[in-house]
């Protein structure tokens, strides 16, 4: 009797297992494909009888919203639009429905992170502290399963932003309907993101079971590293002969072609960071996070600094603050005359952006002002307001139809959506799973 070699036998079993798992993954990926991008608009379309939420704070009741070749051509009350003007349009009677410009989410790692808890699916940060040359757009994955969950809530634009380090890298604005990152780009490498060092760090004390603020002994050193990079960039611009990828990426901050996004929350750090950056001649600065921005609102207004407020649904950072301060913060900043947008830190909950705006609306802003935070204000901050952010003739036809108020999770039910005139398939894995188990339990109940 011939006995098989034990090692060879074990190897065969191992390769068989790997092969089986690979086939299972391939089969699963086929079933879980994200929707293909929409086909180019073939004929003019008119949405008639809708409530048009313009995105600039105004509303047009019983309106007509028309678009052709991917651009908006009509936004007007139905009574002002003659039948002759609609000749050649494919007309959809959507009386009682609401039309909104596509929502815009800034400072997100959408398409860079698939599952936050799984390291192999995170491609949002690079090693090292000073990485202005890192371009997030190169890593953007248009086949991310997270993208359909964003579109399903009306988010059609995103600022793809790197994470980590002192200077994380360059962000780009994309449209959420594309075959690849080249197709997705709306505005490439439009800003550099810096995580300003904190004067204090937080340490957990197991003896008292509390979180204590501890002075950051390396604060001055951390700030100096940023200053050195800025000094080197200014020298690099003056010399103009050598080639340095890091410094080349920083040049746009000094001629105004790029924006510096400063991620910090403390009032003291907000003031110090902006003073330092302004002192170096950086022309466009945006504050991201801004937990204590209200304490320095006059300073921000004086220096014309927009604020991207993060995590409306959270507890206040200071024990003495009102429990609902984060909910009311966007409204309070707008009252101070600041341009405000909204974001959420982390890709898993960022799809709920419109509902964070809904909370801000309840806490002092009103619905149309809150809507501006995720439409026109966001577009202005990101520099894409010439094509997005509002329902205006000449802008891209990136919009959606909702059965009700899109800032309310109970009535944010998208009936249809278009990106640059292309009709979007709104189905994602969540809708497929819902339908799958709905059919199962309906069958079981018969």
Do 418 and 348 lie in one domain? The reply is: no
Residue 86 confidence (pLDDT) above 60: yes
Task: Give the per-residue pLDDT at 12.
Answer: 54
Greatest mean pLDDT among 67-81, 211-225, 241-255 lies in: 67-81
Question: What is the number of structural domains in the chain?
Answer: 2
Do 72 and 139 lie in one domain? The reply is: no
User: Does 402 reside within a domain?
Assistant: yes
The residue among 363, 388, 413 that closes a domain is 388
Do 229 and 280 lie in one domain? The reply is: yes
Do 379 and 435 lie in one domain? The reply is: no
Q: Which residue in 146, 131, 157 sits closest to 396, CA to CA?
A: 157
User: Does 238 reside within a domain?
Assistant: yes
Share of the chain above pLDDT 70, in %: 93
Nearest-angstrom CA–CA distance, 170 and 372: 25
User: Does 11 reside within a domain?
Assistant: no
Looking at per-residue pLDDT, the higher value among 438 and 209 belongs to 438
Do 130 and 254 lie in one domain? The reply is: yes
Nearest-angstrom CA–CA distance, 376 and 56: 6
The whole domain housing 367 covers 103-388
Do 402 and 376 lie in one domain? The reply is: no
Do 85 and 107 lie in one domain? The reply is: no
Quickly state the pLDDT bin for 209 (edges 50, 70, 90): confident
Nearest-angstrom CA–CA distance, 22 and 14: 12
pLDDT in tens, 21-67: 544 444 444 445 678 899 999 999 999 999 999 999 999 999 999 99
The residue among 371, 388, 405 that closes a domain is 388
Residue 387 and residue 77 in contact, taking contact as beta carbons nearer than 8 Å:
no
Task: Give the per-residue pLDDT at 31.
Answer: 47
Task: Give the per-residue pLDDT at 228.
Answer: 97
User: Does 348 reside within a domain?
Assistant: yes
User: Does 339 reside within a domain?
Assistant: yes
pLDDT in tens, 130-157: 999 999 999 999 999 999 999 999 999 9
Average pLDDT of the residues of the chain: 91
pLDDT in tens, 300-332: 999 999 999 999 999 998 888 999 999 999 999
The residue among 338, 360, 388 that closes a domain is 388
CATH label of the domain that carries residue 116 = 3.20.20.140
Q: Mark 353-364 as b/e (b = at least 16 C-beta within 10 Å).
A: bbbbbbbbbbbb
Nearest-angstrom CA–CA distance, 7 and 101: 63
Do 380 and 406 lie in one domain? The reply is: no
Strand, coil or helix: 423 = strand
Quickly state the pLDDT bin for 431 (edges 50, 70, 90): confident
pLDDT in tens, 377-416: 999 999 999 999 999 999 999 999 999 999 999 999 999 9
Do 325 and 377 lie in one domain? The reply is: yes
Quickly state the pLDDT bin for 9 (edges 50, 70, 90): very low
Task: Give the per-residue pLDDT at 432.
Answer: 85
User: Does 378 reside within a domain?
Assistant: yes
Backbone phi and psi for residue 328, each to the nearest 5 degrees, phi listed first = -90, -10
Query: Which residue spans within 338-387 are E strands per DSSP?
Result: 340-343
CA of 439: how far to CAs of 31, 33, 35, 199, in Å? 17, 21, 21, 56
Tell me the CA end-to-end span of the chain in Å, nearest whole number: 59
Tell me the mean pLDDT in the region 70-97.
Answer: 96
User: Does 272 reside within a domain?
Assistant: yes
Do 255 and 337 lie in one domain? The reply is: yes
Strand, coil or helix: 386 = coil
CATH label of the domain that carries residue 430 = 2.30.40.10
Do 410 and 361 lie in one domain? The reply is: no
User: Does 1 reside within a domain?
Assistant: no
Query: Which residue spans within 13-118 are E strands per DSSP?
Result: 45-53, 59-68, 71-77, 90-93, 98-101, 103-108
Task: Give the per-residue pLDDT at 32.
Answer: 53
Do 127 and 245 lie in one domain? The reply is: yes
Q: What is the pTM of this model?
A: 0.90
């Amino acid at each position: 009797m011939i006995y098989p070699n034990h090692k060879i036998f074990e190897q065969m079993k191992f390769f068989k297992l790997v092969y089986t798992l690979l086939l299972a993954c391939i089969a699963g990926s086929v079933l879980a494909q994200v929707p293909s991008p929409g086909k180019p608009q073939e004929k003019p379309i008119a949405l008639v009888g809708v409530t048009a939420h313009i995105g600039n704070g105004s509303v047009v009741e019983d309106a007509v919203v028309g678009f052709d070749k991917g651009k908006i051509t009509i936004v007007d009350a139905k009574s002002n639009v003659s039948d002759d003007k609609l000749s050649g349009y494919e007309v959809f009677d959507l009386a009682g429905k609401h039309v909104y410009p596509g929502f815009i989410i800034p400072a997100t790692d959408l398409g860079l992170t698939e599952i936050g808890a799984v390291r192999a699916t995170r491609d949002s940060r690079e090693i090292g502290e000073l990485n202005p040359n890192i371009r997030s757009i190169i890593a953007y994955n248009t086949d991310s399963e997270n993208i359909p969950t964003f579109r399903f809530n009306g988010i059609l634009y995103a600022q793809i932003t790197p994470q980590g380090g002192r200077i994380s890298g360059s962000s780009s604005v994309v449209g959420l309907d594309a075959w690849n990152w080249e197709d997705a780009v709306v505005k490439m490498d439009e800003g550099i993101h810096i995580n300003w060092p904190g004067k204090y760090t937080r340490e957990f004390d197991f003896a008292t079971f509390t979180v204590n603020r501890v002075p950051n002994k390396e604060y001055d050193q951390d700030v100096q590293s940023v200053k050195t990079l800025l000094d080197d960039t200014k020298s690099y611009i003056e010399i103009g002969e050598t080639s340095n990828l890091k410094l080349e990426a920083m040049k746009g901050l000094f001629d105004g072609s790029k924006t510096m996004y400063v991620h910090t929350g403390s009032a003291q750090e907000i003031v110090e960071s902006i003073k330092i950056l302004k002192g170096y001649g950086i022309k466009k600065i945006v504050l991201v996070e801004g937990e204590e921005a209200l304490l320095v609102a006059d300073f921000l207004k004086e220096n014309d600094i927009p604020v991207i407020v993060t995590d409306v649904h959270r507890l206040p950072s200071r024990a003495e603050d009102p429990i609902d301060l984060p909910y009311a913060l966007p409204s309070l900043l707008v009252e101070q005359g600041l341009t405000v947008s909204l974001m959420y830190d982390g890709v898993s909950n960022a799809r709920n952006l419109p509902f964070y705006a809904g909370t801000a609306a309840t806490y002092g802003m009103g619905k149309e002002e809150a809507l501006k935070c995720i439409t026109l204000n966001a577009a202005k901050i990101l520099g894409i307001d010439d094509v997005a952010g509002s329902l205006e003739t000449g802008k891209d036809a990136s919009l959606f139809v909702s059965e009700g108020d899109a800032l309310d999770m109970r009535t944010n039910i998208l009936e249809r959506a278009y990106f640059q005139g292309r009709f979007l398939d709104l189905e994602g894995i969540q809708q497929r799973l819902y339908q799958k188990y709905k059919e199962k339990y309906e069958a079981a109940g018969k």
